[in-house]
């Protein structure tokens, strides 16, 4: 069988296995039919089937257990999203830039709703996070974790698990992306964050939305800019 034909068969079986799990409402701990039964069911060789099973295993949907077979695993939306994005990023060098654009569009789309959910306690937490970022900048320490906390805190009360999973996975993949260039422009990043926090502290929604738009208007978030073409005006 030619490689292209094998790939098509593997993809088809992979999709059919996913459908099988959903249609039969298999739960964590349930076991898939044996490899022989699945080969007969889908009319494929054992090699093709195993490639399809490997795809599900990589995503954490199933796990091969000696003496039991392929067992359905418990998983969260975030786990599944993280595995999908990791596999995609591995095969696409532009994926980080594209995902940053996704995050930009989602944050701007939800910023109005996010503003309405934030309490004074939340704003104080966001201010404290920004002060840690400033301290790290002064010590020339990369502040990815606190930058992530800053942005995640803005949307913490949005009732959308998929949104939080997407944000979390994008931050995971972005952690080691162009770190040196990020460090060069930390001052501008902090200035953008300061404007966001000041608007929140003043309870000025219009200023908050304007500050968010400015933050995402250039640098790594600028639409259509390739990874190696980034000027990093701000982060």
Q: What is the pLDDT of residues 72-122, one digit of tens each?
A: 988 766 666 666 565 555 555 577 788 888 899 999 999 999 999 999 999
Tell me: the pLDDT tens digits for 135-194? 988 887 778 899 999 999 999 999 998 899 889 888 887 776 766 776 777 788 899 999
Report how far residue 99's alpha carbon sits from residue 85's, in angstroms, rounded to the nearest whole number.
9
Task: Choose the final residue of a domain: 32, 52, 72.
Answer: 72
* 22 pLDDT more than 50: yes
CB 82 within 8 A of CB 171: no
Q: Are residues 84 and 194 in the same domain?
A: yes
Query: Are residues 217 and 161 part of one domain?
Result: yes
List Cα–Cα distances, 110 to 1, 65, 97, 201, in angstroms.
Answer: 49, 42, 20, 19
- Residue 101 sits in the same domain as residue 175: yes
Q: Do 52 and 85 belong to one domain? A: no
Picking from 72, 106, 132, the residue at the C-terminal end of a domain is 72
**CATH of residue 171:** 1.20.120.530
Could you give the percent of the chain with pLDDT greater than 70? 79
Q: What is the pLDDT of residues 190-227, one digit of tens each?
A: 999 999 999 999 999 999 999 999 998 865 554 433 33
pTM to 2 decimal places: 0.62
Show the domain range for 93: 78-229
């Amino acid at each position: 069988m030619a490689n292209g034909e094998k790939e098509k068969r593997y993809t088809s079986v992979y999709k059919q296995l996913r459908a099988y799990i959903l249609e039969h409402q298999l739960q964590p701990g349930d076991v898939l039919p044996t490899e022989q039964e699945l080969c007969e069911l889908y009319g494929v060789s054992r090699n093709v089937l195993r490639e399809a099973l490997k795809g599900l295993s990589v995503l954490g949907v199933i796990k091969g257990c000696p003496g039991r077979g392929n067992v359905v695993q418990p998983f969260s939306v975030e786990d599944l999203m993280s595995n999908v994005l990791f596999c995609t990023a591995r095969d696409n060098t532009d994926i980080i830039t594209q995902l940053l654009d996704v995050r930009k569009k989602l944050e701007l789309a939800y910023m109005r709703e996010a503003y309405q959910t934030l309490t004074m306690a939340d704003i104080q937490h966001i201010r404290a996070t920004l002060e840690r970022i400033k301290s790290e900048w002064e010590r020339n320490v990369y502040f990815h974790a606190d930058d992530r906390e800053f942005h995640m805190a803005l949307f913490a009360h949005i009732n959308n698990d998929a949104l939080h999973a997407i944000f979390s996975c994008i931050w995971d993949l972005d952690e080691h992306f162009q770190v040196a260039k990020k460090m060069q422009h930390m001052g501008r990043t902090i200035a953008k964050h300061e404007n966001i926090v000041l608007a929140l502290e003043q309870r000025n929604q219009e200023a908050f939305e304007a500050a968010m738009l400015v933050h995402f208007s250039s640098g790594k978030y600028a639409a259509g800019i390739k990874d190696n073409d980034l000027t990093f005006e701000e982060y």
